[in-house]
Amino acid sequence: MGLFSRNLVAPTVAYDVQASLAPLPSIESSIGFINGALTATRAECMAVPVCARAVGIISSSIAGIPLVVRNKVDNTRVIDPPRVIAQPDPRVPGAATYVWLIADLILYGYAYLRVLEIYSDTLRIRSAERIDPARVSIKTNYLGTEIEHYYIDGAAIPDQGVGSLAVFSGNDMGILNRAGRTIRAGFELERAAVMYAREPVPTMVLKSNGVALPADRIAKLLDSWGAARRNRSTAFLNADVTLETLGFDPSRLQLNEARAYVATELARAMNIPAFYVDADTGSSMTYSNATTSRQTLLDFSLRPVIVQMEQRLSMSDFVNSAQEVKYDLDDYLRGSAKERADVYKVLYDMGAITSDEIRQEEDLING
């Protein structure tokens, strides 16, 4: 059976919440759509190691936290939640979809799921696939304040139902727009590092002191010089050739210092502690602070994205109005075995928890 079931039909009525069309917060939010001069590309961003590491840490950490559906009234967990919450696209693992979706939120400020199936009775989303924001364009009203239509690869798409977009809005215009200049600076520094890795000394000029050499002799001389320098650092020149250098070497250019400075600035732009991306060389993580680093990452880096994801998935095109979607942070914030044992002892002595409940929390009871 394919992705589309015969009992899943296109809707004839509107959603309770039209989440596919939304206001445009500010003109800066549309920079990515109009390819502004100050923006960076995804390829440029991910070519900078500190950016790739920051995006990877945030997106993979959140995607690894389980999503649960709870009833708003009594906060009880829904036993049989909609499949789309845990696995939006049935063709790929749910974590893979959410990793890319969260990375899109960080980079672009928007993320998109294209609806593949809907339930014929409730018109809620049954399955959806992630769409690269670079493929999406918009049409706004004449004031530029409201999005009137979405396009994928230049083709108009439905405003609702199968083929429409479920839009995830971020907290700002995205790192590619907000810190485009800094990302491009980091990208150029990485290119400079590659160049100096290939030619690890300043630009060299071999000057002939005798007669002019033909082009083929010059090419052979340069080839033999380059091959010799890759094998040994000491060179010998006879009286007919003189070596001159132009430019500066990496140490005089302070290339390493510049890369370290930009890495720290990009860590700030990514809202992630510098030591997480090895951008702060002046600090080190020890056992005493390693136990609190996960909480720090959650508070300053993960929680803003988590809130956006939870609230969007709790809208009525995913779950009914009496339910909400939450990340289960208990396992993520779980302390060491000794810390958990101390907490269990206090709760057990108070009579707030039984030994069987403790065993269940520690996965010591099957079934």
Distance, CA of 39 to CA of 173 (rounded, Å): 11
Residue 40 has pLDDT above 50, yes or no: yes
Q: In sequence order, which ranges of the chain are alpha helices (DSSP H)?
A: 31-34, 42-46, 49-63, 83-86, 94-108, 175-178, 180-198, 215-231, 250-253, 255-269, 287-297, 303-313, 337-350, 355-361
Does 346 or 229 have the greater pLDDT score?
A: 346
Residue 301 has pLDDT above 60, yes or no: yes
User: What confidence score (pLDDT) does residue 254 get?
Assistant: 60
Distance, CA of 69 to CA of 26 (rounded, Å): 33
Residue 15 has pLDDT above 60, yes or no: no
Q: Can you give the pTM of this predicted structure?
A: 0.72
Residue 3 has pLDDT above 60, yes or no: no
- Say which range, 40-49, 238-247, 264-273, 325-334, has the weakest mean pLDDT: 238-247
Question: To the nearest whole percent, how much of the chain has pLDDT over 70?
Answer: 72
Residue 168 has pLDDT above 90, yes or no: yes
Confidence grade of residue 192 (pLDDT, cut at 50, 70, 90): confident
Residue 19 has pLDDT above 50, yes or no: no
Distance, CA of 99 to CA of 92 (rounded, Å): 12
Count of alpha carbons within 13 angstroms of residue 168, beta-carbon side: 33
Helix/strand/coil for 37: coil
Q: Which two tokens stand for residue 4?
A: 């589309």
User: What confidence score (pLDDT) does residue 17 get?
Assistant: 42
Does 180 or 22 have the greater pLDDT score?
A: 180
User: What confidence score (pLDDT) does residue 198 get?
Assistant: 64
| Average predicted confidence (pLDDT) for the chain | 78
* pLDDT tens-digit readout, 327-341: 988 777 766 666 677
118 neighbors 124 (Cβ within 8 angstroms): yes
User: What confidence score (pLDDT) does residue 216 get?
Assistant: 83
Residue 101 has pLDDT above 90, yes or no: yes
Q: Which two tokens stand for residue 314?
A: 């709790």
300 neighbors 321 (Cβ within 8 angstroms): no
44 neighbors 267 (Cβ within 8 angstroms): no
* pLDDT tens-digit readout, 56-92: 999 999 999 999 999 999 888 888 899 999 999 999 9
Does 289 or 46 have the greater pLDDT score?
A: 46
347 neighbors 357 (Cβ within 8 angstroms): no
What ranges do the domains of the chain cover? 1-200+248-332, 203-246, 335-367
Distance, CA of 106 to CA of 176 (rounded, Å): 8
Confidence grade of residue 8 (pLDDT, cut at 50, 70, 90): very low
User: What confidence score (pLDDT) does residue 26 get?
Assistant: 55
Q: Identify any residues that bridge with 140 across adjacent strands, giving them in sequence order.
A: 147
Confidence grade of residue 21 (pLDDT, cut at 50, 70, 90): low
